[in-house]
Amino acid sequence: MTTPSAVTLANQIRMGRQISRRAVVVVEGRDDKLFCEHFVDRAVAKVLVAPGKENVLEAVRILDADGFLGISGLVDPDFDGLSGFGVGSAPSPNLLTVDAHDLDTMLLRSGALGRVLTEFAVRRDCGPSESDVREMLTLLAAPIGCLRLHSLRRGLNLRFAGLDYSRVFSRTGGSVDEITLIQEVKNRTQRQDISSAELRTGVAAIREEGHDLWQLCCGDDLLGALCCALRWWLAGSSAQQVSAAKIRESLRLAFGPQDFLGSGVGRQMSFWQEQNPGFRLLLPALGRGAGATP
């Protein structure tokens, strides 16, 4: 469905082309923009923020229909591959996606995680390994991902924003208290009429489907788990400095050129350049492509 925001953005991109022949990447939010600007050559390309995923998809569709060149959109897959409500069977060649559920999930899956653990003074010689940390994070976040997906499939519109992860995750058992999780979500949604037993059954059913946990787990939940884990491992004032916003920023800054070149996003952007002669997205050291005159 065409939205006013998408139309406004498409018009903004058209007007910008009259001033400068730069490639354009449309992203979902501020964090995505900050991530892209580490790797996009801003002399020949511009990163624009659309208010949400649907507006990115619609702006790209509008400009594709006009035959507008040099436009691309970067979105999170979210639950597209698991919910049955994906972006379509024939997506635009100008639509790029991050590697896992969302940007945060991709960053946690990368080598940036180890650098962040070191930054937060988690000793690598006696502390948990990166692979152990990743396994713990996905195991903690998976039940929440199952509940999110169940809510999406059933149209329950459960609210997860502001979830108190310290109440949901067990420090001693490294597990999730599903009863507390479900009650917390019901409280936030103000839907005590929904059966907790039915929600637990839904979570169990999705768990049995055997999905890739990096597609099932949401970045917010993984970061919530990592915040809790770092607070468990650290002591004193260091623990008080741990926040999801701080970790998100640290991961973004720790994700370097080699991580980017080895990622699906990096390969997609490089391929987009090859398919769009006359436009370039990436810094010269990161990808080939014909230059564009700003």
Q: What is the pLDDT of residues 227-284, one digit of tens each?
A: 988 888 776 555 567 899 999 999 999 999 999 999 999 999 999 999 999 999 999 9
Q: How far apart are CA 39 and CA 33, in angstroms?
A: 10
Percent of the chain clearing pLDDT 70 (strictly above)? 88
Strands 45-49 and 175-176: unpaired
DSSP state of 51: S
Domain-wise residue ranges, the chain: 4-99+263-275, 105-256
Assigned token pair, 2: 């065409």
Residues in the chain: 294
Q: What's the one-letter identity of residue 97? A: T
Residue found under tokens 């010689």: 125
First vs last C-alpha separation in the chain:
33
pLDDT in tens, 27-72: 999 999 999 999 999 999 999 999 899 999 999 999 999 999 999 9
Using the CB atoms, write b or e for 75-85: b if 16+ within 10 Å.
bbbbbbebeee
Provide the pLDDT for residue 175.
84
Instruction: Tell me 217's DSSP state.
Output: S
Q: The pTM is what?
A: 0.90
Q: Are 281 and 290 in contact (CB under 8 A)?
A: no
